[in-house]
Structure 1
Amino acid sequence: MSESQPQAVYLKDYTAPDYRIETINLRFDLDPEATTVTSRMEVRANYDPAEGRRPFVLNGQELELVSVSMDHDPVGDEGYEISDDTLVIPHPPAHFHLEVVTRINPSANTALEGLYVSGGNFCTQCEAEGFRKITYFPDRPDVMTRFTTTVVADRKEYPVLLSNGDRIDSGELEDGRHYVTWHDPSLKPSYLFALVAGDLACIADHFTTMSGKEVKLELYVQYGNEDKTEHAMRSLKKAMRWDEEVYGREYDLNTYMIVAVDDFNMGAMENKGLNIFNSRFILAKPETATDMDFVNIEGVIAHEYFHNWSGNRVTCRDWFQLSLKEGFTVFRDSQFTADMTSPAVKRIDDVSLLRTRQFAEDAGPMAHPIRPDSYVEINNFYTLTIYEKGAEVVRMIHTLLGPERFRKGSDLYFKRHDGQAVTTDDFVRAMEDANGVDLSRFSHWYEQAGTPRVEVERAYDAAAKQYRLTLRQSCPPTPGQPEKAPCQIPVKTALLSREGAALPLRLAGESQAGGSERVLVLNEPDQTFIFEEIPAEPVPSLLRAFSAPVKLEGGYSDEELAFLMGNETDDFNRWDAGQQLALRVIVRLIEGAPRELDRGLSAAFGKILADDRLDPALVAEALALPPEEYIAECMDEVDPLAIHEARQFVRIALAETHHEALAARYTALADPGPYRVEADAMGRRRLRNACLAYLVQLEGESERAFAQYEAAGNMTDSMAALVALVHNAAPRYDEALQHFYQRWHEDPLVLDKWFAVQAAAPAPGALERVRKLLDHPDFTMRNPNRVRSVIGAFVMRNPAGFHRDLAAYTFLADQIISLDRLNPQVAARMLDPLTRWKRYDESRRNVMKEELERILRVPRISSDVYEVVSKSLAA
């Protein structure tokens, strides 16, 4: 980038493109260091030419321009204007053909945007603005065209040549080269373009759609990984069938391809018909992948497949609308995973991520609405707010409308906007029009940053048998938004008798009761809901299934939370009651309460542990204490070490008090049969390993963990034992680490686990351990997975280890400066811990701020890092 300060882009400045690209024909002559790209476009004015000619502006970065021709005639230097990031044709006709030839160096592309080389293979990543690093083009999502792509390469080195759409031609050329031509019949923006070339193994299968069409399924991996693809292929077929059954969406092309690559900034990319995946979301077998890996692979494959409609067939008009495709698709993949596994556990997993990380994002300097007003670098807005909070907003519409009416709305949305680039307003309008409802108040969720708070006031009138719930909403100020309008908040509610029964509900003004659960819609700053014929004061069950992404202040006593842990009929709320009770206990310890185990928490823990009627996966979640990151979000000033010590005290006290029960449950859950990727088997392993995590903290129990490590026939049990040993610095943990490395050092994805388990260990000396890991011969800054497994695990998953030594802040700043020269996207994402510098004590705060200021002084800092640092300092 130039030395000038990066400039913001604003939603209010959006205008439609001046030109349409009717078609584009691309030819790639592949060479690792000098690839030639020839682009032939048919261009037509998107305005009234009678008003005067407008310049045609094409985006381009890090390109060597070879030639420009218009309507087959060369264009000299005087016929165009070129800068660091644009090529401008000043006065083109209203309809013309433009040929642009560029040259690029894929081997030098360490940022992994555009066309680059990974493991000897060519691949692309064009979202959000990577296509401009391939050739000059109006690189914006509302410029949609039909692509025809010819890929030319040495046949011996690159026998596989892939791009979007259907293969329409292929042949041999002189000098041992060959070519394949692909045509994509669908209109698509440049961010959905993809190309892969290399020597890859192909695993083929097929799928019959609901209309009877046969679709070829092709999964490409490096040779030697073929035995790790069965789960991915099975997951793809399950996702295709589910999307037909639940949303009525059928796949449209003749072939669906997935390619797994080792070097990838994201998890995966939904390029039309040719998905490119980070290999960790494809490759899995029981010996090398954990249960959570299997679940994540299934979910990510489903996510990218669902994008075929919610993102590709209907795409976003501009990058401010990113949640249009991502929020909707995350909601869809969450539904899918809930159907494939345990709905309650999936909901708990989603909300845990939201509370520990997205709520923190909402409270930090990078807070933004799910439809931002501005950005400096769009890569910084691939955030949990866009994805996870965006999904929660779609979920609220689903809650308000119900499944059948939501399906009517989605059907209209896809029908109305197929082949278009649209906005979040268009999505909401389709829901309104299909169902005759008014969701205008709902727009505030898209426009406002921050996490709303809902405060509850309760009153019971025994004489009148009336129960009053008053709900008050507020939202704290965020950068640029000091005042907030009230949102439309669905609060799913039940009332429980003191015996634990859900009561029939009749609101004032209704003639009869209407079931035992209601969705109370909070539209105003405060509203009161009156329930009639309530025989005795109940315990309210509020925000069931986490029906809105808010912070609930329900005014519960410790006794009521313990009651809900034992009697709640909503699985999510039962879990949440335990989390809130444990949170209170830990916070009181941090504030100086006597170091003793809370009796109510201990009793509830024991009751859940002993209840073998419950889903084991749900029990495992219920036994887990709130993570340190979530505890930090609930405190005004964060003391990471005090949080860690208080939480550890409760964990050890629970383990000591329930030692026999934990050991008995651990033994009873042993699975004598073969490993199965099924919900019940995964739930049993989840609970058994949760018991082990408690037990290994006690003297004499490390041998149990080491025995499990030695006997484990699957990666789930192996990793659970290794984490238990390493994170507790238990006897023989180093022996286990050495054994693990010797066995798996040639498998990159498993080796990432070995690095991460050490970087996330909270014991003293964490910084020095991480420094040594960076010097390990298997560590490289050029692979994002490896960076995340060491630096990311240390700074984002090890709060006690990271914050114990102030020198860690200097360490992180050094790594960000180094990374920024290689891969600005990854560097910017590592900044997160420093952005919250104001929430810590003075000594930590001062060093964090100094390091942010030092990063900002680095010459030629990327726009990715500049935006995060400057906003953090200005907040």
Structure 2
Amino acid sequence: MADMLSTTAAAPAVIRRADYRAPDWLIPDIALDFDLDPALTRVEATLSVTRNGDHDRPLRLDGDGLVPLAVKVDGRTLEEAEWHLEAGALIIPLSGDSHRIETLVELAPQSNSKLMGLYASGGLLCTQCEAEGFRRITFFPDRPDVLSRYSVRMSADKARFPILLANGDPIEQADLPDGRHSALWNDPFPKPCYLFALVAGDLACNADSFVTMSGREVQLGIWVKEADLPRTAHAMKALKDSMAWDERVYGREYDLDVFNIVAVADFNFGAMENKGLNIFNSRYILADPETATDIDYDGVEGVVAHEYFHNWSGNRVTCRDWFQLSLKEGFTVFRDQNFSADMGSHAVKRIEDVRILRAAQFQEDSGPLAHPIRPESYMEISNFYTATIYNKGAEVIRMMALMLGAERFRAGSDLYFDRHDGEAATCEDFVAAMEEGGQIDLGQFRRWYEQAGTPHVRALLSHDPVAQSVELTLEQTVPATPGQPDKQPMAIPLRTALFDPATGQHHGDELLMLTEPKQSFTFTGFAAAPVLSINRGFSAPVIVETNRSQADLAFLSAHDDDPFARYEAMQQLMVNVLIGRIAGQDTDDGAVIDAIRNTLTDPALDPAFVAETIRLPSEAYLGDQMKIVDPDAIHAARDALQTKIGAELMPLWRDIHAKTKANAFSISSAAKGARKLRNAALHYLVASGAQDGPAIAFGQFSEADNMTERQAALGTLANGSSPEREAALDIFYNRYSADALTLDKWFQTQAFALHPDAVEQVQALGQHKDFTLANPNRVRSLYGAFAGNQWAFHHGSGKGYALVADCIIALDKLNPQTAARLVPPLGRWKRFDEGRAALMRAQLQRILAQPGLSKDVTEQASKSLE
């Protein structure tokens, strides 16, 4: 490892939280003047600067790839000797305490393949500035604790760019000579530069309005290409629903007169919460039954809400520094999760959220890239937009909300917003507000912000028939993670209930606080041994091990009144059988089949919940239960159980598939639940090996009036090798080849397929005429999906690793952020056998040996080898 690193460029500098220092200069106001053109854009910036504190340090304005064409101080043009560039930044010595600084730079948006700063996308000019993209637009102290009021003037060719949008409210528009026009926008609320936004292009608007709780009318606009306008209705409804929800639940009202959203095709993230002008990846705005699945509809609703909620949890109160990223992201994910639950099914939403947490964040926590939700250091901040920051951050907020209760949590959040409105705050500020407003001591709980790793909780229940009591003994351990070999006990809230197996009832739901390495809790009044239901609702993001029997789990899968705990019992029932078989044991699967049959025939259950409960744990999740992952054994065991479930319950699958066929498309919860259950039935029916399975799947594919059923059928067929598979793939491609977002599904379905030739198929798709490295969505749909296909990616030959490494190396030259996000699957080499581990390490070393490697990929790959 040392030899390999010595042949490459020096490692990027490490930024540490402990080194934080308040800004030397503040920028109360900034005026920007853009002369927009894809080939050559000129940006004039006028900054009012004030010295912050008693010091004589010069003004430092960050820049990335910028060359100043002019620099003025208080109206006087400086000679080149009066300023200099240092690591891209513009350094200007200043004697006074306040000045007016003017700079002029030129940009080439159409050449900006990094998609950070000002860039071109599908005929539009747009920006992305989080985390450090503003320095690619103009010289500025590019840090979140410098808050400024922005005035933005844009001029452009009117025919080519008829719409000119920026943050805040529109002030004036004017026609100019030579077919050009201009627009002036003003944002009265001080904001950090990462929230700056600008969009210019030929766009159509879905216009609407919303009346706030104080009676103000806000003009709403969703801006897209003219042809996409019919696909924006769902996003507009989600926006209005989220505005009303934030008023009702948090008392937070929108503050500007205008709220705009723009959808762009090329975007590194899902969306961006720029003040008053949210810029979205088009996949989270456009939806109709023909092209969007129910998951897509839910994604649009959730992401629109997430970015809107940032207006308060992120914009009005922002981050002091990037180490506090979870302050805005974790809190806002928690808010959007609760919103989505209120809009649909609380039970199903909780199951979905935990599945994502386990698939992404638990793996992150157990690997070389593990970090606390408030990291201590980084090389490249874009690498810390992680599941830990977002999803685990949300779970930490959820635990606080559980411990405080709804009323005190609202009091704490009100105090936080009121106390820090217009400020750049820290995670500690949030916790302190919760302590004061919620009247609770969160001293030990702060360790969730400081310690990485997923806590393991061992729960042992013992019954004393003479004393008619039970003792629940809980032990916690937090595994060592990079840089943190020794851990302190966490404060872990565990919702718990003890069920009487005779009556199917429990004695009440209790919140137990595990704060010591080992604690015991005694309960009386149990003549018979009860059945333990623990971590109900997934009250803490921990891994729980119990001494519950298969009979106990089967009981809970039928009787637990907490939906998540009921789902969890069924999943554990399946996991126990599958892990036993992977280990070569002859485990009995009868309890699993009976539990699925009972769930399918329970008329009281929501179909969407049933569909979630009966699905087998993923191959990746099964791998997480093993010390050394065996992808082939996992696949074989899971495939065999799936086949048996399909065959033994065949009449039920056929009946459900027929009865849940919809007459007309609807996105109601009932309709979505019916589709989810129908697709689950189809999956098991085909997995059974029934001769007519592929024909039934092809029939659903052909007859579907919605993308949810069409893609599910395609995905089911893609796992096999039938003639129907090839026919469906051809039909889908020919039908949607002109629609980029829907064609992403075609690539993704094949990359996820559990097909013996998946590696070769992905390799061929990488050479397909419709594949491009220039679009992040297309890269994620193929290589991102493939890296999540455990059986295919971890092919024993290592060719899957080489395929992804090839993509990373090529993509790094265009878009380092997207390339870096493909590295972590290679970094899990310690979890696999030595043969696969050596192959993964070799690819990481090959990546690191590339000349000119970005710091984004360098950080991920070097840490992955540690």
- TM-score, length basis structure 1: 0.97
Deviation at 1:370, TM superposition (A): 0.1
How many aligned residue pairs are there?
A: 857
Q: Which residue does the alignment assign to 2:4? A: none
Q: Which residue does the alignment assign to 2:626? A: 635
- Is the Cα–Cα contact under 8 Å of residues 761 and 798 in structure 1 kept in the other structure? no
Deviation at 1:92, TM superposition (A): 4.0
User: 1: CA distance between counterparts of 2:634 and 2:62?
Assistant: 49
Deviation at 1:487, TM superposition (A): 1.0
- Is the Cα–Cα contact under 8 Å of residues 80 and 89 in structure 1 kept in the other structure? yes
Is 1:37 aligned to residue 28 of structure 2? no
Counterpart residue type for residue 570 of structure 2: G
Counterpart residue type for residue 118 of structure 2: L
Q: Which residue does the alignment assign to 2:534? A: 542
User: 2: CA distance between counterparts of 1:284 and 1:212?
Assistant: 31
Query: What are the equivalent positions in structure 2 for 1:431-446 lying under 5 Å apart?
Result: 431-446=434-449
Deviation at 1:597, TM superposition (A): 5.7
Q: Which residue does the alignment assign to 1:508? A: none
Counterpart residue type for residue 317 of structure 1: R
Is 1:671 aligned to residue 662 of structure 2? yes
Is 1:797 aligned to residue 802 of structure 2? no
User: 1: CA distance between counterparts of 2:46 and 2:423?
Assistant: 23
User: 1: CA distance between counterparts of 2:446 and 2:402?
Assistant: 16
- Is the Cα–Cα contact under 8 Å of residues 764 and 801 in structure 1 kept in the other structure? no
Question: Pick from 555, 575, 599: which aligns with 1:563?
Answer: 555
Is 1:858 aligned to residue 861 of structure 2? no
Q: Which residue does the alignment assign to 2:741? A: 749
Q: Which residue does the alignment assign to 1:55? A: 58
Deviations 1:581-608 (A, max 9, x none): 11111111111124x7611111111111
- Is the Cα–Cα contact under 8 Å of residues 370 and 390 in structure 1 kept in the other structure? yes
Deviation at 1:42, TM superposition (A): 0.3
Is 1:345 aligned to residue 351 of structure 2? no
Deviation at 1:802, TM superposition (A): 4.7
Q: Which residue does the alignment assign to 1:693? A: 683
- Is the Cα–Cα contact under 8 Å of residues 597 and 654 in structure 1 kept in the other structure? no
Q: Which residue does the alignment assign to 1:683? A: 673
Deviation at 1:130, TM superposition (A): 0.5
Q: Determine helix, strand or coil for the equivalent of 1:330.
A: helix
Q: Determine helix, strand or coil for the equivalent of 2:308.
A: helix
User: 2: CA distance between counterparts of 1:689 and 1:612?
Assistant: 18
Distance change in 2, residues 1:112/1:663 (3 Å): same
Deviation at 1:65, TM superposition (A): 1.6
Residues 530-539 or 332-341, more deviating: 530-539
- TM-score, length basis structure 2: 0.98
Question: Pick from 487, 504, 518: which aligns with 2:510?
Answer: 518
User: 2: CA distance between counterparts of 1:316 and 1:556?
Assistant: 44
Counterpart residue type for residue 404 of structure 2: L
Counterpart residue type for residue 4 of structure 1: A
Counterpart residue type for residue 709 of structure 1: F
User: 1: CA distance between counterparts of 2:43 and 2:697?
Assistant: 56
User: 1: CA distance between counterparts of 2:527 and 2:405?
Assistant: 30
- Is the Cα–Cα contact under 8 Å of residues 492 and 520 in structure 1 kept in the other structure? yes
Counterpart residue type for residue 17 of structure 1: P
Deviation at 1:114, TM superposition (A): 0.5
Query: What are the equivalent positions in structure 2 for 1:756-775 lying under 5 Å apart?
Result: 756-775=748-767
- Is the Cα–Cα contact under 8 Å of residues 64 and 104 in structure 1 kept in the other structure? no
- Is the Cα–Cα contact under 8 Å of residues 718 and 755 in structure 2 kept in the other structure? no
Deviation at 1:798, TM superposition (A): 4.8
Q: Which runs of 5+ in 1 are unaligned?
A: 505-515
- Is the Cα–Cα contact under 8 Å of residues 796 and 836 in structure 2 kept in the other structure? no
- Is the Cα–Cα contact under 8 Å of residues 766 and 802 in structure 1 kept in the other structure? no
User: 2: CA distance between counterparts of 1:645 and 1:92?
Assistant: 73
Is 1:367 aligned to residue 373 of structure 2? no
Counterpart residue type for residue 515 of structure 2: N
In angstroms, what is the RMSD of aligned CA positions?
1.2
Residues 471-480 or 528-537, more deviating: 528-537
Q: Determine helix, strand or coil for the equivalent of 1:101.
A: strand
Deviation at 1:770, TM superposition (A): 1.2
Counterpart residue type for residue 450 of structure 1: G
User: 1: CA distance between counterparts of 2:159 and 2:770?
Assistant: 29
User: 2: CA distance between counterparts of 1:764 and 1:503?
Assistant: 47
Question: Pick from 600, 616, 641: which aligns with 1:650?
Answer: 641
Residues 138-147 or 550-559, more deviating: 550-559
Deviation at 1:797, TM superposition (A): 3.4
- Is the Cα–Cα contact under 8 Å of residues 615 and 683 in structure 1 kept in the other structure? yes
Counterpart residue type for residue 798 of structure 2: L
Query: What are the equivalent positions in structure 2 for 1:75-90 lying under 5 Å apart?
Result: 75-90=78-93
- Is the Cα–Cα contact under 8 Å of residues 456 and 471 in structure 1 kept in the other structure? yes
Q: Determine helix, strand or coil for the equivalent of 1:175.
A: coil
- Is the Cα–Cα contact under 8 Å of residues 203 and 218 in structure 1 kept in the other structure? yes
User: 1: CA distance between counterparts of 2:524 and 2:342?
Assistant: 36
Question: Pick from 463, 468, 475: which aligns with 2:466?
Answer: 463
Deviation at 1:612, TM superposition (A): 2.4
Question: Pick from 653, 661, 674: which aligns with 2:652?
Answer: 661
Counterpart residue type for residue 106 of structure 2: R
Deviation at 1:803, TM superposition (A): 2.5
User: 2: CA distance between counterparts of 1:587 and 1:107?
Assistant: 52
Is 1:610 aligned to residue 613 of structure 2? no
Deviation at 1:801, TM superposition (A): 5.0
Q: Which residue does the alignment assign to 2:5? A: none
User: 2: CA distance between counterparts of 1:435 and 1:760?
Assistant: 45
Question: Pick from 472, 483, 486: which aligns with 1:480?
Answer: 483
Deviation at 1:457, TM superposition (A): 2.1
Question: Pick from 259, 262, 267: which aligns with 1:259?
Answer: 262
| Sequence identity (%) | 51
Q: Which residue does the alignment assign to 2:286? A: 283
Deviations 1:349-387 (A, max 9, x none): 011111122111000000000000000110000000000
Is 1:233 aligned to residue 223 of structure 2? no
Q: Which residue does the alignment assign to 2:12? A: 6
Query: What are the equivalent positions in structure 2 for 1:215-364 lying under 5 Å apart?
Result: 215-364=218-367
User: 1: CA distance between counterparts of 2:296 and 2:503?
Assistant: 37
Deviation at 1:89, TM superposition (A): 1.1
User: 2: CA distance between counterparts of 1:554 and 1:798?
Assistant: 27
- Is the Cα–Cα contact under 8 Å of residues 494 and 502 in structure 1 kept in the other structure? no
Deviation at 1:662, TM superposition (A): 1.1
Counterpart residue type for residue 499 of structure 1: A
Residues 736-745 or 792-801, more deviating: 792-801
Question: Pick from 866, 869, 873: which aligns with 2:861?
Answer: 869
Residues 85-94 or 10-19, more deviating: 85-94
- Is the Cα–Cα contact under 8 Å of residues 450 and 477 in structure 1 kept in the other structure? yes
Q: Which residue does the alignment assign to 1:171? A: 174
Deviation at 1:800, TM superposition (A): 3.1
Is 1:847 aligned to residue 833 of structure 2? no
Query: What are the equivalent positions in structure 2 for 1:475-514 lying under 5 Å apart?
Result: 475-504=478-507
Q: Determine helix, strand or coil for the equivalent of 1:256.
A: strand
User: 2: CA distance between counterparts of 1:13 and 1:716?
Assistant: 50
Deviation at 1:66, TM superposition (A): 0.7
Question: Pick from 820, 827, 848: which aligns with 1:828?
Answer: 820
Is 1:619 aligned to residue 610 of structure 2? yes
Q: Which residue does the alignment assign to 2:183? A: 180
- Is the Cα–Cα contact under 8 Å of residues 313 and 332 in structure 2 kept in the other structure? yes
Q: Which runs of 5+ in 2 are unaligned?
A: 1-7
Q: Determine helix, strand or coil for the equivalent of 2:185.
A: strand
Q: Which residue does the alignment assign to 2:590? A: 599
Q: Determine helix, strand or coil for the equivalent of 1:607.
A: helix
- Is the Cα–Cα contact under 8 Å of residues 113 and 126 in structure 1 kept in the other structure? yes
Counterpart residue type for residue 16 of structure 1: A
User: 2: CA distance between counterparts of 1:131 and 1:262?
Assistant: 20
Deviation at 1:804, TM superposition (A): 4.7
Q: Which residue does the alignment assign to 2:3? A: none
User: 2: CA distance between counterparts of 1:339 and 1:675?
Assistant: 22
User: 1: CA distance between counterparts of 2:150 and 2:685?
Assistant: 58
Counterpart residue type for residue 846 of structure 2: R
Question: Pick from 23, 28, 31: which aligns with 1:22?
Answer: 28
Q: Which residue does the alignment assign to 1:511? A: none
Deviation at 1:75, TM superposition (A): 1.1
